[in-house]
Structure 1
Amino acid sequence: MQRPKIICHMMSSVDGRLLTDRWTEPFDGKDKTEFYGVYEDVSRQFNADAWMIGRTTAQQDFETFSFDFEKYPPAKEFKTHIGSRSSATSAIILDPKGKLGYKSNNLNGDNVIVVLGKSVSEEYLAHLRDNGISYLFGGKSGMNLQITLETLYTDFGLKTILLEGGGVINGAFLKEGLIDELSVIIYPGIDGLSCMPAIIDYMGQTDNNPAKNQSLEFLKAEVLNDGMVWLHYKFHTKN
């Protein structure tokens, strides 16, 4: 299968937690938000064609609205649609049920591509088309990652994608052995509370081992501004 290279690129506290509003404050009194630009600076070094997030992350971090996805019956045809492709990079949103509505065709200036399941309505697909938004179908459930990546490669020409969470989406990619590299920016602070969202949160039973037969090769460690640390690894999978 031809697919894009997947780099899981995340920023976390020292204990691997994701909720930035829970992290301890910088010791020198700086505003915590000053640290977030470092993450974007590192992101640009990968020269990726797109970045990918799940619906929950998109809802939290960007201007979207809730679409009444249960109001309409499923569509009858499920074909890839290529909308506006004017931006240099793309924002890929995994939203199997089509819960998010959009006011434009871009997030942070990047054209949106939505990955859907086959339960979405024609009304929702029309909403996406009317806004110039591209979409594709990740199998019946919308979470067939193999189909999703193959379509992004063949139909959209994407060669490198930054996988930027949340942890549940990252966990799903890990379980399928689809992460090629892991890049983590460590913020010098702690959350500390049990069960808070982490950079990789595979949803399974306690006897599941989503990283089985995978190992990490160290590529790089770099101390960044204000005590932040960048760790970079390559994934290897044993057959």
Structure 2
Amino acid sequence: MEHVEKSKGKYKQVLERPYIICHMLTSLDGKIIGDYLEMERADFFIEEYEKIHARYDCNAWMCGRITMETDFTFGHKLNLKQDNIPNIPRTDYVADKGAKSYAIAVDPSGKLGWTQNYIADWNDDRATKEHIVEVLTEQASDAYLAHLKEIGVSYIFGGKERLNFTVVVEKLKNLFSINKLMLEGGGFLNGSFLNEGLIDELSLILVPIADGTSNSVTLFETSSFITNQRPVNFFLKEVEKLDDGGLWMRYVTTN
């Protein structure tokens, strides 16, 4: 949502949510995962991806559960006791609203095995502690919410059974003062944002390798629960040639 305010005799639109950049890396055939990423040649483009991430200077980035589980909780399973856990109201919990940077984990049912409330500096281009914010539905268990509170992980609710990302991003701005968010999702998370009209800019690194497999996930995917799926226009803003035949392309969704 947005509102209009008057400034020096003119009206301007003010977003009630962060400015959202979808920052992704794909093969020539549009795959965001696949064996091509294991090739030595891809290492250079992965490094460029991280450098460009830093250039945007966003104060938050977002990934889905599978990415977070693979790269950050490493499949760790929590042993949560359900006994004697009081009912916890399904209200947002803000543990740190003054962090320099936030890592937003989309985890609808509450499965990620966090053991601390931040992601430490994990590469040269992301060298700050990033406070974790879990994005949940109200289906998350009381035991999981109690665990997050105990270790100081913030959490917000985006819906009763399914996530409404318009609600989610408005909460991120209002509760944590996040003005610029980098979306680095899987294809289904990206597709959900696209469907809700929440992507302002696409930052796309094109790796000059064709993956060729038929079951790899592409940049934007759709799910059966996404209704009214429609084409979305992107407008080219800038193209930069990278070494070794790659491209960095920037698109916006409005002229």
TM-score range, shorter chain: 0.7 to 0.9
Return the offset for 1:44: 1.5
Matched, 1:33 2:43: yes
Q: 1:211 to 1:71 in 2, by over 3 A?
A: farther
The 1:223/1:74 distance shift into structure 2, 3 A limit, reads farther
Partner of 1:58: 68
Aligned length: 231
Q: Secondary structure at the match of 1:62?
A: helix
| AA partner of residue 77 (structure 2) | S
Kindly state the Cα deviation for residue 204 of structure 1 after the two structures are TM-superposed.
Answer: 3.5
1:113 aligned partner: 133
Structure 1 position 67, deviation (Å): 4.0
**Counterparts of 2:191 and 2:86 in 1: how far apart (Å)?**
28
SS in 1 for 2:70: helix
- Judge conservation of contact 2:81–2:143 (CA < 8 Å) in 1: no
RMSD: 2.6
The separation in 1 between residues aligned to 2:90 and 2:60, in whole angstroms, is: 23
- Which among 156, 168, 178 is matched to residue 136 of structure 1? 156
**How much has 1:102 moved relative to structure 2?**
0.5
Q: In the aligned structure 2, how far is the partner of 1:131 from the partner of 1:142?
A: 25
Task: Give distance in 2, aligned partners of 1:99 and 1:69.
Answer: 11
Residues 70-115 of structure 1, C-alpha deviations (whole Å, 9 max, x = no match): 9689944011111245642110011010011112212243111000
Q: TM-score, normalised by structure 2?
A: 0.81
- Indicate if the aligned counterparts of 1:75 and 1:121 stay in contact, CA closer than 8 A: no
TM (norm. structure 1) is: 0.87
1:210 correspondence with 2:210: no
Per the TM alignment, residue 211 of structure 1 is displaced from its structure 2 partner at its CA by: 3.7
Question: Which runs of 5 or more residues in structure 2 are unaligned?
Answer: 2-15, 123-128
- Equivalent residue number for residue 180 of structure 2: 160
Counterpart CA distance in 1 for 2:86 and 2:158 is 15
